[in-house]
Structure 1
Amino acid sequence: MTSHVMNFRCLSILVLFGISSPQTSAKSAKEDPLFSLPFEELLNLEVSVAARKSEPWLSSSGTVYVVSRNDIENYGWRDLKEILASVPNMDYFYQWSWLPGGQRGFTGNMSGTLMLIDGREVQNLLANEAFIMNNFPASRIERVEVLQGPNSTLYGGNATQGVINVITRLGNMENEIQVLAGEVGTKHAHALFNYAQQDLAVSVSASYFESDQNYQELKEFVVNTEQFSRSSKDKLRNLDSSAFRNNEKNYTIDGKLSYQDMYVGANISRAENVSGIEAVAYDYFTGDDSRRGYANYYLGKNVKPDAQWQGNFEVSYYREYKEKDRLTTVVPDGAKQYQDLVQDNEREDIGPSDRIRLTTQWQYQIDETADLIFGYDGWRTVIGRKVKYRENDGKVTLFTPPEWAKDKEKSTKHAMYGQYSRTFQWDSKSLKLSAGLRYNRQDFTNSAYLPRASLVYQSDESQAIKLTYGEAFRPPTIFEFDLVVDDKLESQTMGMTELNYSKSFVFKDIKFASISALYHMKAENFYEKILDPAIGGWRTEITGEHSIYGIETQLKFQANNWQGQFGFRYIKPDDERIGEHWQVLDVPKYKVKFGLVYRLNDTWRVAGFVDHWDKTYTEANQLDTTGTQVEEVDAWTTLNLHLFKQTQHYVYGVYIENMFNKEYFHSNGRGSSPVKYLQAPRNIRFQFSYRF
């Protein structure tokens, strides 16, 4: 262990001394496209996530963060989880499988954030979750666009807190092979192929990831009943840390074939082990081996009848699986240790679940200053029946739990939306007005009209002041109908008012680009299950609210051989009302992000990223498990380092996570046990890629 730490220290010293290597001239830094972070390109960057059409980043409606391929390669981020850590107002708690959380101080199962791949929804059908695991390797991603705040007007349900649009590398005309290796058996491989000949284009991106994720620190943590669990099961659990396993495997395939205006494509993801360390069972270490996977196939045609009209028709088929294989436990009277338990294998399947979807969107360019977008979105969803396979004395019993809402398995949705935009211009000034409305009709929930409006004022081409108002909704899931008699449930809702100021400027030859936003967001209609004696069953009561005021900012900069970013967020208050009770949320009031990249010479770079979270307060079980209490999870600061060499054809480097081996935790925003989640100790990984 000592030699291991010394190796890290030696490497750290080499990295730090490398910063004093001879510098190249400012001229060569500007001419080298491998290093450049051209702010002119950022200002002229066309983003689509804010308006479902291409528009300049600076004048886009609302607050949009763009994480470019340049950012990803410089900082060495391996997957989408690490990329999102650079966005100042993303909230999450990593529990060693998927990534629960939210945006702007709202947290949970990530059902309020709409997940898109190349503009197509890949939200979990069963629980409306943006299911982010290691199935989003950075090698798969060209850039990430993050829209903050509700946007159901254009995107429909689940865009209550914002939208994440992952732009893949399909069609960028690069071919690449990448491999990565790290501690605890971490391996990753990725291949990218792009081909175009006249009107024909073919693109394929495929990745594979596996990791044991069995750090010694994590093994010891999960059997610490004071820090981790505090469950009534603890006295009878298997507390042998050597039995711990949390290995994860997944693969992804993105593909697209286009000819002239027709195209066909697919996004496929398959994962093994999505339990992480969240579930606490008697034999946690051998139970809950879960598998999830989805496939989204699509066929479409782009249409452009004339210079003013352009549109698109697309049909998609989405299929999702959920499978579990775990141990069920019977506790005999007088059981005093794990060996006294009676355990049988139990399998639980839901699926396959299917969705057939038809979308069409049209844009009419009225003149140079005005355009109209309108579209239709409709689907038919069939949720697979939940079936359990229970083995007892060598016999297998198949059954569907009585709480499963069989009458809610099939549903349809129809929605129409439109948005009008007009720009008024005088001298160097401009004012863009955008106003949109969606009508949404969906089974088992209320119909809704969802507005969104924004004003963008630019006194010149370098700055913009934006005022945005938006509303959004999240429909109930089939799980939220468990054990209830309600035929319909009102959707959860979100409203937002936001003031944004974005600007680019030069100070002492340093280029800056900044985003700052003040906002107020209010969520209503939480679901609370109540046993009603009058009807002799469960019903769901719609109650509660959660209101947040906040500020967020991000500043990117570049000067000669340096470039970097600074991010900050502060929210107040951070509590919510459920019924008549107020409870503390598991999110930090403020966060600070700071990244710095330095060019050592023509090909070598070194980058560091500092992440600081304020303390959080979490509700946890008491040690005697007779009740709950609020506990503090300490504030923490971590530093990640990336040293790499980049040429025209290859990149190789080393990445150190948690450089100073800081013990830090994420709180649990989904329950009172476990108390908190230990994050990764210091570890190292190597990566190599070849482009051709």
Structure 2
Amino acid sequence: MNYPRALVFIFLAIPFCVMANVDDEQHSLFSLPVEELLQLEVTVAARKNESWLSSSGTVYVIGKSEIENYGWRDLKEILASIPNMDYFYQWSWLPGGQRGFTGNMSGTLMLIDGREVQNLLANEAFIMNNFPASRIERVEVLQGPNSTLYGGNATQGVINVITRLGQGERELHLIAGEVGTKHAHLLVNHQYNTLSMALSASYFESDQDYDELRSFVMDPNDFSRNSKDALRDLNPNNFRNDEQSYTLDGKLDYRGFYVGMNISRSKNVSGIEAVAYDYITGDDSRRGYENYYLGKQIEFSDALRGSVEVSYFREYKEKDRLTTIVPDDAQTYQALIQYNEREDIGPSDRVRVNTQWQYQVDEQTDWVFGYDGWRTQIGRKVKYRDIAGQVVLFTPPEWAKDKEKSEKHALFAQYSKTVNWGSKSLKASAGLRYNQQDFTNSAYLPRASIVFQPNASESFKITYGEAFRPPTIFEFDLVVDDELESQTMKMSELNWSKSFSWNDIKLANIAAVYSMKAENFYEKILDPIAGTWQTRVTGEHTIMGFENQLKFQAQHWQGQISYRFVKPDEAQIGDIKEVLDIPVHKLKLGLVYRLSDTWRVAGFVDHWSKVYTQANNLLGDGTEVEQIPHWTTMNLHVFRQTKRYSFGVYIENLFDRSYYHSNARGTSPVRYLQAPRNLRLQISYKF
């Protein structure tokens, strides 16, 4: 989309008319993220409240004030601000990972208010447009493994989305943008004596069919390189990519008893990954998830307190698509024989019992311990084929029916001891989890850290952790193995965090160097004698890297500078070595300027270095190495905020650069085009 450049400067110039009214003493409407960070207690590293500076490991916190300043609409835009978060937006859900490890996001554990909402079918942190920013109070991201406290899938890190439930606010938030983008969110919090009630509800829809995207998917050189290309439907007007989603969060709390829910439903055309002959993967109704929980906070004494919680998690997936038979003499799309096919998986559900306790021995010593157990039932995969008006139902022979039911039991404990002398302190913590789970090996998972604070504004942290990801039902497809060993991750990390002032500028810095080693990849091989598929557990991949984030604040300015470096490494998978497609360098710059008591302008610059990726050969069989160019984009947010309302204009991809995310999960499509320049209006009202 090519807007006149004058339009950009109009939006830049609008707020400057109010600059003369700047009041240096009024800060109530201008957030102070550096000070908030230093005073903040986080929970993601230790499953208990602790200060950000003394928390073990590397923790990034993105608060509501930053989200409002930069104008981020949803969780994927928020995560883009973290220096060592990788994702590859393919216009549906987010594949990716952390610290250079990429895939289907199964190595990142997804939490809402500390409760796991990981996909049951494929262990994915399933992020679509179902996490609007107006739903979020803050996001805590732990880098590196922590299965000791969280169990499976926390091999690369943990994302904890803390909702605005219980924050005492009532708000209506609306967004309207191009390509039919609409979003509405309602937040209600109410307190009546000892009863608190909270509800958060949102709805999102978008066609997501930019003209540039339609043209891109018709280009077999840049996009697909698939054997289907010669027979595809090349009419861009038939391309669809619409999405709908809604979320519902609610909680009642009465004298320590609580009951709540997190519900997310999504319907999408599945983006532009693995599209069919008609350039549409199919209408994919994920139905998201439903998570209901009931619990009790218990306090026996000032020293011993904890909670007992029972939860029920349910998900469902259905997809409608055209299935194609290709006649031998087919030369055009019209010559294909197509019929409708529907695929259902589910419902799948999980009943879980979790209890966690904290025993405060004294002011410097405490224990965290607990039990986690669940019973999971994976729903049967069923396909419905409509051939000549006759519906045929069947389950694919490779579906692992005997792996649909499973149980897990785990015990965990973590000890923490702090020694103080003068202004200095040393905190040592060590934890261990024993995990027993059907169809995979039992495991002992340790985690240990030392945090040295020479003063109240600086800390040095050394952390060692291990984690695992159990196999999914898909990884038992067409195999004879009764048990598969889990994938594992080991990490060593050194972190330096510090807050300081320089020439009246307040700064807070996070720096970390690390080494992480993943082992036990799943490789499918065909037994030539038995004629059956088996899964071989093999391979390793080590990544070393550095990441840094500097936040700053000075009078009317605030912002951040972030950088990451990842040392490329060859992954050994079976007998094959390959370099995974990750950008070695990533640089991020965010700036917020307070024009007056109520007007602000913010910009965020994102830079990725070039990526080498493996893609199908355009001229024949096999693959070749392709380079995806480096890219730099800038997003702009101009807005006005008062105590009651705010409104603003957000411009994505301000200079209308064409840029691409690589495909981290295969050799076709080659890459994914990202959004051209577009505008959206954002309005919120507190009542």
Q: Please state which band the TM-score falls in when normalised by the shorter chain.
A: over 0.9
Q: Give 1:266's aligned residue.
A: 261
Match for residue 245 of structure 2? 250
Q: Secondary structure at the match of 1:469?
A: strand
Partner SS state of residue 221, structure 2:
helix
Q: How far off is 1:14 after superposition? A: 4.2
Corresponding residue SS for 2:118: coil
C-alpha contact (below 8 Å) 1:649/1:691 kept by paired residues: yes
* 1:106-185 matched pairs, under 5 angstroms: 106-185=101-180
Task: Decide which of 494, 509, 514 is 2:509's aligned counterpart.
Answer: 514
Provide TM-score, normalisation by structure 2: 0.99
* Contact map agreement 1:245 1:286 (CA 8 A) in 2: no
2:65 is aligned to: 70
Partner of 2:6: 9
For residues 281-316 of structure 1, the C-alpha deviation after alignment (integer angstroms, 9 at most, x for no partner) is: 112237344433210000000000111000100000
Which one of the candidate residues 482, 492, 495 is aligned to 1:500?
495
Give CA-to-partner distance per residue, 1:441-495, whole Å, 9 cap, x none. 0000000000000000000000000000000000000000000000000000000
Fraction of identical pairs, as percent: 70
Partner of 2:309: 314
SS in 1 for 2:216: helix
Aligned residue runs from structure 1 range 43-62, under 5 A: 43-62=38-57
The answer for the alignment partner of 2:19 in structure 1 is 22
| Aligned residue type for 2:90 | Q
Name the amino acid aligned to 2:358.
Answer: Q
Number of aligned pairs? 687
Cα deviation, residue 624, structure 1? 2.5
Q: Which residue of 2 aligns with 1:594?
A: 589
Residue 637 of structure 1: which of 620, 623, 632 is its match?
Answer: 632
Deviation string, structure 1 residues 387-446 (Cα, Å, up to 9, x no partner): 000111110000000000000000000000000000011011000000000000000000
1:482 counterpart = 2:496? no
Opposite residue 9 of structure 1, the aligned amino acid is A
Residue in structure 2 matched with residue 614 of structure 1 by the alignment: 609
Q: Which residue of 2 aligns with 1:411?
A: 406
Partner of 1:657: 652
- CA deviation after TM superposition for structure 1 residue 274, in Å: 5.5
- Corresponding residue for 1:549? 544
Q: Tell me, in whole angstroms, the C-alpha distance in 1 between the residues paired with 2:23 and 2:29.
A: 14
Q: How does 1:382-421 map to 2 (within 5 A)?
A: 382-421=377-416
Separation in structure 2 between the aligned mates of residue 18 and residue 652 of structure 1, nearest angstrom: 12
Q: Distance in 1 between matches of 2:319 and 2:280?
A: 14
Report the 3-state secondary structure (helix = DSSP H, G, I; strand = E; otherwise coil) of the residue aligned with 1:403: coil
* Partner secondary structure for residue 336 of structure 1: coil
How far the C-alpha of 1:574 sits from its partner, in A, is: 3.8
What does residue 183 of structure 2 align with?
A: 188
C-alpha distance in structure 2 between counterparts of 1:449 and 1:640, whole Å: 45
Distance 1:579 1:286 in 2: 31
Q: 1:230 and 2:225 equivalent?
A: yes
Give the Cα separation in 2 of the matches to 1:538 and 1:38: 54
Q: Quote the Cα distance in structure 2 between the aligned partners of 1:346 and 1:39.
A: 53
Gaps of 5+ in 2: none
Give the direction of change, closer, same or farther, for the CA distance of 1:377–1:195 in structure 2 (3 Å limit): same
What residue is the counterpart of 1:364 in the other structure? Answer: 359
- Going from structure 1 to structure 2, the CA distance change for 1:645 and 1:416 (only over 3 Å counts) comes to same
- State the SS of the aligned residue for 2:141: strand
Task: Give the Cα–Cα distance (whole angstroms) in 2 for the partners of residues 565 and 540 of structure 1.
Answer: 45
Conserved? CA contact 1:26–1:560, under 8 Å: no
- Residues 1:376 and 1:242: Cα distance change in structure 2 (over 3 Å): same
Structure 1 23/484 Cα, relative in aligned 2: closer, same or farther at 3 Å?
Answer: farther
User: Does the CA contact (< 8 Å) of 1:574 and 1:589 recur in 2?
Assistant: no
1:623 counterpart residue number: 618
Q: For residues 269 and 601 of structure 2, what CA distance do their matches in structure 1 show?
A: 34
Residue 534 of structure 1 and its aligned partner are, at CA, apart by: 3.5
State the distance in 1 between where 2:444 and 2:269 align: 36
Q: Distance in 2 between matches of 1:581 and 1:612?
A: 31
Amino acid aligned to 2:150 = Y
Q: Determine if contact 2:592/2:602 at 8 Å carries over to the other structure.
A: yes
Query: Tell me, which stretches of 5 or more residues in structure 1 are unaligned?
Result: none
Secondary structure of the equivalent of 1:479? helix
- Superposed CA offset, 1:602-626 (max 9, x none): 1100000000000011110011341
Asked if structure 2 preserves the Cα contact closer than 8 Å seen for 1:586 and 1:618, the reply is yes
- Cα distance in 2 for partners of 1:128, 1:53 equals 25
Aligned-partner SS, 2:24: helix
CA contact (8 A) 1:361 1:375 kept: yes
Q: Does structure 2 retain, via aligned residues, the 8 Å contact 1:175–1:192?
A: yes
1:321 to 1:209, Cα distance in 2 relative to 1, 3 A: same
> For residues 342 and 118 of structure 1, what CA distance do their matches in structure 2 show?
49
Q: Name the stretch that deviates more: 394-403 or 527-536.
A: 527-536
SS at match of 1:494: strand
> Would the aligned equivalents of 1:274 and 1:292 in 2 still touch at CA under 8 Å?
no
Give me the whole-angstrom Cα distance separating, in 2, the residues matched to 1:495 and 1:38: 32
Instruction: Tell me, in whole angstroms, the C-alpha distance in 2 between the residues paired with 1:444 and 1:229.
Output: 37
Cα distance in structure 1, aligned partners of 2:273 and 2:620: 18
Residues 533-568 of structure 1: CA deviation (Å, up to 9, x unaligned): 243311111111110110000000000000000100
Q: Is the 8 A contact 1:359 1:376 kept in 2?
A: yes
Amino acid at match of 2:95: P
CA deviation string 1:248-270 (max 9, x = no partner): 00000000011111000000000
**What is residue 429 of structure 1 aligned with on the other side?**
424
Whole-angstrom CA distance in 1 between matches of 2:191 and 2:252: 10
Structure-1 separation of matches of 2:205 and 2:535:
40
Please give the secondary structure, in 2, of the residue aligned with 1:226.
coil
Distance apart, 1:27 and its partner CA: 3.4
- Return closer, same or farther for 1:146/1:37 CA change in 2, 3 Å cut-off: same
SS in 2 for 1:41: helix
Is 1:81 aligned with 2:76? yes
Counterparts of 1:234 and 1:290, CA distance in 2 = 26
1:231/1:625 contact within 8 Å kept? no
Instruction: Assess, with a 3 A threshold, how the Cα gap between structure 1 residues 77 and 214 changes in structure 2: closer, same or farther.
Output: same
C-alpha separation in 2, matches of 1:131 and 1:686: 27
Post-superposition offset of 1:25: 5.7
The residue that corresponds to 1:563 in the other structure is 558
Tell me the SS of whatever aligns to 2:68: helix
C-alpha displacement at 1:18, in angstroms? Answer: 4.5
Deviates more, 1:63-72 or 1:12-21: 12-21
User: In the alignment, what sits opposite 1:208?
Assistant: 203
> Which amino acid in 1 is paired with 2:3?
V
The alignment partner of 2:288 has SS state of strand
Moved more, 566-575 or 483-492: 566-575
Alignment correspondent of 2:661: 666
- For residue 608 of structure 2, what is the amino acid of its counterpart? W
Moved more, 603-612 or 35-44: 35-44
CA deviations on 1:493-524 (whole Å, 9 max, x unpaired) are 00000000000000000000010000000000
Asked whether the 8 Å contact 2:11–2:638 carries over to 1, the reply is: no
- Give the secondary structure class of the aligned counterpart of 2:479: coil
State the one-letter code of the partner of 1:437. L
In angstroms, what is the RMSD of aligned CA positions? Answer: 1.2
Equivalent AA in structure 2 for residue 27 of structure 1: D
Distance 1:500 1:20, change over 3 A: farther
Partner of 2:149, secondary structure, is: helix
User: SS of 1:587's equivalent?
Assistant: coil
Alpha carbons of 1:129 and 1:623: their partners in 2 closer, same or farther (altered >3 Å)?
same
Partner of 1:685: 680
TM-score (norm 1): 0.98
Could you tell which deviates more after superposition, 221-230 or 14-23? 14-23
CA contact (8 A) 2:240 2:269 kept: no
Instruction: Name which of structure 1's ranges 611-620 and 274-283 shifts more when overlaid on structure 2.
Output: 274-283
Once residues 284 and 429 of structure 2 are traced to their aligned partners in structure 1, the CA distance between those partners, rounded to angstroms, is 48
